Structure 1
Amino acid sequence: MNWIVGPQLIGFIILLAGLIQKRFPPKTINGLYGYRTASSMRNSQSWNEANRYSAQLMIKAGGITLASGLLITWMMTFFHFAETTQSIIQLVLVLVPTFGIAGGLIYFTEKYLKKVFGNHLES
């Protein structure tokens, strides 16, 4: 398995995105940059809190994925698979963390917003 392309690359990208969002949070509600869902875009308070919280989650998830990706890649050097099998394994190890982190980020941020602002966020 390649040391650059794999789950560690996804982890690095997510970690970097979280650090950028934390360092340069979106100032106003917009449709281009930030955590954009109906509940986060209801008002400035929910917008700021959603972007702060999701940045923290991205940093944690990115760090864990980066570290585990490097560990998996290192472990894969000990196994010798056919090229096709190795390509399938690599594809799965890239897609599963990508969709898992995206889904988890949305799930946990929305759950957090409901906890903080209640079921009905005020406009």
Structure 2
Amino acid sequence: WISDAGAVVDMIVQSQGVAGNASLSFTVPADEAMIVYEALVRRINAELPGVTAEIDRNIAKLSIVGEGMRAHSGIAAKMFAVLGREGINVDMVSTSEIKVSVAIHQKYSELAVRCLHEHFVENRESD
């Protein structure tokens, strides 16, 4: 359905909600969000009565990237610890061999970038 709108999904999470209802959350580029949302609502209304869709434009995606991540375990745990110390909740996570990405609330994006930069770039010797 999302591909019908011509969008590419970046991060995706499926979870089991209250009363056994499934929840599907995903990110798309900001400039494609309304197109995807409108396409989903049309399909949902036509094929899945009672199902709802919501859009949240207050999401920021942050990534730490590096070839060195292949050889160092625990990078994601360190990232979560840095964000957690600042009270920043992680809504979604996506990982690969050389990248860890998280979705957080937009209002924490500058703080998160600053703290992650301090930890992973400025204080390398502490790792």
Same fold (TM over 0.5): no
More helix by share: 1
Q: TM-score, normalised by structure 2?
A: 0.28
Q: TM-score, normalised by structure 1?
A: 0.28
